[in-house]
Amino acid sequence: MSEQNYTHVAFSDDSNHSSKLFRSLCLVSLTNDNYNYLLPALKKILRKSGVLKEFKWSKVRNAKYRFAAEKIIRFIFTHQDKLRIDTIIWNMEDSRHNNVIAIDNEENLVRMYYHLFSCVTGKRWPTINTSWSWYPDIQSSVNWDVLGDCIVNKKHSCLVDIFNPYHNFNQVSIKNINPSKSHDFPFVQVADLFAGIGAYSFGEYSNYEIWEIGNSHQTNLFKSNSTGMTFSPSQEEKFNTIKLLNNMCKNNKLSVAFDSTKGFKSHNPKVFLNFWPYEPQHDMDKAPKRQ
């Protein structure tokens, strides 16, 4: 990192932004002091898991990466008092996106990033005597020049009468926005994990439900299940990861729904782990069109 003239850091990544029904992005945020404290332990987890380059949710298709995902999840819960993980998820067939011809996905992602970053830094953290350095995954399809200008200047034309204003965001100090390679910043990889889980939990819920029922009375989860359906190794490993996370949310009384909402949804956004399925604000809240 550059000269540390900031008090807080954020790391982000998005998932399924170019395809799939459900798309998401995640912002991991914490104080700079806690970042420096937690980073060595997170690096150790990845190293001992055999993740030599970078962890990605898309790689959770074998036991090695599932074990790595589970270790990261346990690590996050162990240190839940030291960071936040906020994931916003949107449905490409909701009233905001459905019947919009030629959606500008890049601009749509800019809007969602602005929505999430402004809310987290303006509402979930103190704004007085606080300054931020943000490290998003450089591989995102978002236009960083446009988004950076929106964030620094605290405004975006789409926000007028569409998103609820986060007045405290006007007080937020952003020192740096540094699009970065995820393998250089392990907390970007954490953001990738939770962004992936967020979108996948909704997109694959019906299959997960069948898998859960079919395997609920078996000791070996990789045998044929009682429903007669078979699942790919990727589905098996991802479903096991989701099951662990769901159980940990319940055990920690986080008020994170799963079965009732057919995907992860937090009822209390103030807690450290916040899954936020986006709902259109009103009839005029529409995805942008390509010019």
- Mention every residue, 6+ apart, whose C-beta is less than 8 A from residue 252: 77, 80
Q: How many CA atoms lie within 13 A of 155 on its CB side?
A: 4
> 219 vs 192, which has greater pLDDT?
192
Rounded Cα distance, 219 and 149, in Å:
54
Bridge partners of 91, per DSSP, are 22
Residue 284 is predicted with a pLDDT of 58
**Is residue 75 over pLDDT 90?**
yes
**Is residue 39 over pLDDT 90?**
yes
DSSP reduced 3-state for 275: strand
278-285: list long-range contacts, CB under 8 Å, 24+ apart: 278/88, 278/89, 278/90, 278/91, 278/96, 278/112, 278/115, 279/94, 280/94, 280/95, 280/96, 281/162, 281/163, 281/164, 282/162, 283/95, 284/161, 284/162, 285/95, 285/96, 285/162
Mean pLDDT of all residues in 61-82: 97
Residue 235 is predicted with a pLDDT of 95
Residue 110 is predicted with a pLDDT of 83
Q: Is residue 257 part of a domain?
A: no
| CATH at residue 64 | 3.30.420.10
Strand pairing class (22-31; 273-277): unpaired
pTM of the predicted structure, to 2 decimals: 0.89
Q: Is residue 233 part of a domain?
A: no
Parent domain of 100: 8-199+270-277
Rounded Cα distance, 115 and 201, in Å:
21
- Mention every residue, 6+ apart, whose C-beta is less than 8 A from residue 185: 11, 135
**Is residue 215 over pLDDT 90?**
no
Whether the CA torsion 241, 14, 188, 268 is positive or negative: it is negative
Q: Look-up: residue for tokens 């450089």?
A: 138
Strand pairing class (131-136; 173-177): parallel
Rounded Cα distance, 87 and 269, in Å:
10
Give percent above pLDDT 70 in the chain: 81
Q: Is residue 282 part of a domain?
A: no
Q: Look-up: residue for tokens 């960083």?
A: 144
**Is residue 221 over pLDDT 80?**
no
Residue 21 is predicted with a pLDDT of 86
Residue 54 is predicted with a pLDDT of 92
Q: Is residue 122 part of a domain?
A: yes
Q: pLDDT-based confidence at 277, cuts 50/70/90? A: very high
Rounded Cα distance, 205 and 190, in Å:
22
pLDDT tens per residue across span 240-269: 999 999 999 999 999 999 999 999 999 999
Q: Is residue 250 part of a domain?
A: no
Beta-carbon neighbour count of residue 173 at 10 Å?
15
pLDDT tens per residue across span 113-168: 988 999 999 999 999 999 999 999 998 777 788 788 888 877 665 554 344 555 68
Rounded Cα distance, 153 and 276, in Å:
25
Q: Is residue 177 part of a domain?
A: yes
Are 241 and 72 a contacting pair, CB within 8 Å?
A: no
Residue 101 is predicted with a pLDDT of 67
User: How many domains would you assign to the chain?
Assistant: 1
Q: Is residue 74 part of a domain?
A: yes
pLDDT tens per residue across span 98-117: 665 666 667 778 888 988 99
What is the per-residue DSSP string for 72-98? HHHHHHHTTTS-EEEEEEEETTSTTTT
> 31 vs 147, which has greater pLDDT?
31
Beta-carbon neighbour count of residue 266 at 10 Å?
21
Strand pairing class (265-266; 131-136): unpaired
Q: Is residue 68 part of a domain?
A: yes
**Is residue 60 over pLDDT 50?**
yes
- Mention every residue, 6+ apart, whose C-beta is less than 8 A from residue 226: 213, 214, 215, 217, 218
